[in-house]
Amino acid sequence: MENTRIIGISGSMRSGKTTLAHRLRDHIPKSQIFSFADEVRREARQAFCDTPEAKAAWDEMLASDKERLRPVLQAWGALKRKLYGADYWVKKTLKAIEQSAYDFAIIDDVRYFNEKRYVENRGVCIRLESDRYDLFERGATLEALAHESEKDLNYTHFDRHINTSELNEYDTFIEALERIKGVFDGRLE
């Protein structure tokens, strides 16, 4: 739907973006989770997997050990941004959102400034912060955190920050819900 309101979640890997997105989706009626990386995964799978067996192996690896594919997906995403412009993935995600019948789209992987700008034009973007120690305890690696997609928004201003190192999962959800309600005048239905 063209008037779908968007809730974006930004933060480093392992900061709790997807966990928060699932909690919000379960709480907010007529909402669905979208990711800029959904199309990255689809396109990379199509490009690298030309047989049913290869597709099955890709899907299994993505489900069981996403970290092994992360560099491939990051490279594919960066290549497409370079070849077709920074908004390549934004346009694909916007098209998917507009073709949906949801009132709220929750984007769980806002990683670049242009993505943040797009989300804020249609709703709100929350930045999840977490201490480096906690990120490493949750499985982040130095190599992955050094990628441009992990660093582009590190020093960008966000009106809404939540430190996931200081709050448990439930309190992070409650804090996010309060900040979102403020943008949508308390209406999340």
Which tens digits make up the pLDDT trace of 37-74?
999 999 999 999 999 999 999 999 989 988 788 889 98
Q: List Cβ neighbours of 139 (8 Å cut-off, separation of 6 or more).
A: 14, 67
Give pLDDT tens digits for 110-168.
Answer: 989 999 999 999 999 999 988 888 888 888 888 877 777 777 777 778 878 888 988 99
Decide if pLDDT at 186 tops 80.
no
> For residue 72, which amino acid is it?
V
Strand order in the sheet with 123-129: 31-34, 104-110, 5-11, 123-129, 161-163
Amino acid at 164: T
* 109 CA to centre of own chain: 1
Distance CA 116, CA 90 (A): 10
Q: Quote the CA–CA distance of 6 and 8 in Å, as a whole number.
A: 6
What whole-number distance in Å separates Cα of residue 119 and Cα of residue 123?
6
Report residue 44 as tokens: 């990379």
* Closest residue by Cα to residue 88 from 77, 96, 97: 77
**Confidence (pLDDT) at 147:** 74
